[in-house]
Amino acid sequence: MEQPLFLGIDGGGTRCRARLCDADGRTLGEGMGGAANIRLAPEGVRDAILTAATEARERAGLDAAAWRRTHAGFGLAGAGQTSARERIMRQPFPFASIALDTDARAAWLGATAKAAEGDRGAILIVGTGVCGYVEKGEGPERRRISIGGWGFPLSDDGSGAVTGREAIRRTLHVCDGLAPPGSLSDAILADIGPTPEAIIDWGDRATPADYARFAPVVYAHAARGDALARAVATEAALAIGRLTLRLVELGAPRVHLIGGLTDTVRPWLADAVRHHFAPPDADALAGAVAMARENCPGQPGKAAP
């Protein structure tokens, strides 16, 4: 009998990543797809997952028949919503089984893979969105605790999407003469339109990922001293700091800061916040693979780095 394969999917608001592993935990191939937030953009998530998974399979030198023995773990943004989970699970996938959970839990499983059962810390994801996550207790008494991560535009202060949105919103203030112009507002006006009307037209069709691409721009101009950029970056860092300290308050012995904006945000955080950070043991794809293993009879859940 052929050995099972395990596919980890890490789907966020900007991109979807896939990793295909053999039964011994060795990586066979990886792939990339588009945005995979099942609450905000459900129509494209299946295609994003299959694009990333197919690239991983092809890099492993396997044909489509391999899917019949492949157990998948989906860690997807937006999976905290029951309706979103039900919607994606109604979609046809070719895999032997699917374990679905949030991208936060997949990231947590990876980041804390080497920790003892009672000593697993928390994670704080800072990317297009932002979310803190920790699990407390053991066995049937275990509680999952999420902080933030409820989604743009109502939540996720400190995220790439909110940071970009705030920069654009304040650029409208500049257009109205309510704030002085600077290098950041000039860059935004040159990018998405020279008038408030053009900005609003852009905003009507913009996605969270569209806003998030301005977050690195904000931090770059803040580092050069632009007043508007510094104000936005400072507020974002304060929001990340509040989330970090809340996770510590909940009893997390350490916080693993992860996500696409990690290195960009870190220098703006207070020393009292950075003191709580520790490097992750492994990535979210390792956690998603562990989910797939847990869902396969006879296979231990193991998030190998």
Residues 256 and 125 reside in one and the same domain: yes
Count the helix, strand and coil residues of the chain and give each as a percent rounded to the nearest 5: 45, 20, 35
| 92 found inside a domain | yes
Whether residue 134 sits in one domain with residue 97: no
Residues contacting residue 279 through CB under 8 Å, at least 6 positions apart: 256
Q: CATH no. for residue 65?
A: 3.30.420.40
Tens-level pLDDT at each residue, the chain (305 residues): 689 999 999 998 789 999 999 999 999 999 999 988 888 777 789 999 999 999 999 999 999 999 999 999 999 988 888 888 999 999 999 999 999 999 999 999 999 998 866 678 999 999 999 999 999 877 677 789 999 888 888 899 999 999 999 999 999 999 999 999 999 999 999 999 899 999 999 999 999 989 999 999 999 999 999 999 999 999 999 999 999 999 999 999 999 999 999 999 999 999 999 999 999 999 999 999 999 998 887 665 444 43
* Structural domain boundaries enclosing 29: 5-111+283-294
Same domain assignment for residues 86 and 223: no
- Asked if 163 and 264 sit in the same domain, the reply is yes
- Residues 236 and 208 grouped into a single domain: yes
Residue 301 lies in a domain: no
Specify whether 135 is located in the same domain as 218: yes
Using CB atoms within 10 Å of the CB of residue 162, give its burial: 0 to 12 exposed, 13 to 18 middle, 19+ buried.
Answer: buried
Q: Which two tokens stand for residue 129?
A: 């969105």
For residues 141 and 254, state if they share a domain.
yes
Burial of 190 (0-12, 13-18, 19+ CB in 10 A): exposed
For residues 30 and 173, give the distance between their C-alpha atoms in angstroms, rounded to a whole number. 44
What pLDDT score was predicted for residue 174?
A: 97
Q: How many C-alpha atoms does 104 have within 13 Å on its Cβ side?
A: 24
To which residue do tokens 């207790």 refer? Answer: 137
For the chain, the domain total comes to 2
Domain identity same for 10 and 75:
yes
Q: Identify whether 204 is part of a domain.
A: yes
Is residue 120 located within the same domain as residue 106? no
